[in-house]
Amino acid sequence: MWSTFFGAKNKIFTMLSSKEINLVYETLLSSPGMKDVIKFSFSAARKDVLVLAGIIDLGLAKLQEPGSEIMFGGTDTSEVINKIKEEILLKSELSEMNERMKSLEARNK
């Protein structure tokens, strides 16, 4: 369902401006039940957890760039997503490796 809604070929996004897309997301995020806390469990390979952490970091960095027009859920949501990333890294025992990888990236910039 979401892949068709968010797909690149979907004409909804080609017709909407960034402000309108933000409004759609804000509307979805403010609908009843969206603030309910849920618990889920899943299994993933450690390599996938590291990739997911990297994707989260890239996404959060993109949202904080000056001129970024799309910001879903505000800074509270960004903090929650970052905490989720930290938790999955901790549970997979990859926190230290992730920090070392980030320091290597910083050296290469």
Instruction: Give pLDDT tens digits for 4-33.
Output: 445 555 555 567 777 787 788 888 888 899
Cβ-Cβ contacts under 8 Å for 95 (sequence gap 6 or more): 86, 89
66 backbone φψ class: left, alpha, beta (φ>0; ψ -120 to 50): beta
Which residue bears the tokens 């933000």?
A: 22
- Tally of CB atoms within 10 A around 78: 17
Nearest-angstrom CA–CA distance, 7 and 37: 28
86 and 95 Cβ atoms separated by less than 8 Å: yes
This prediction's pTM? 0.69
Tell me, what amino acid is at 5? F
Q: Work out the average pLDDT over 78-97.
A: 93
pLDDT tens-digit profile of 52-78? Answer: 999 999 988 887 777 665 566 666 778
Tell me, what amino acid is at 91? K
Structure tokens of 44?
A: 């993933």
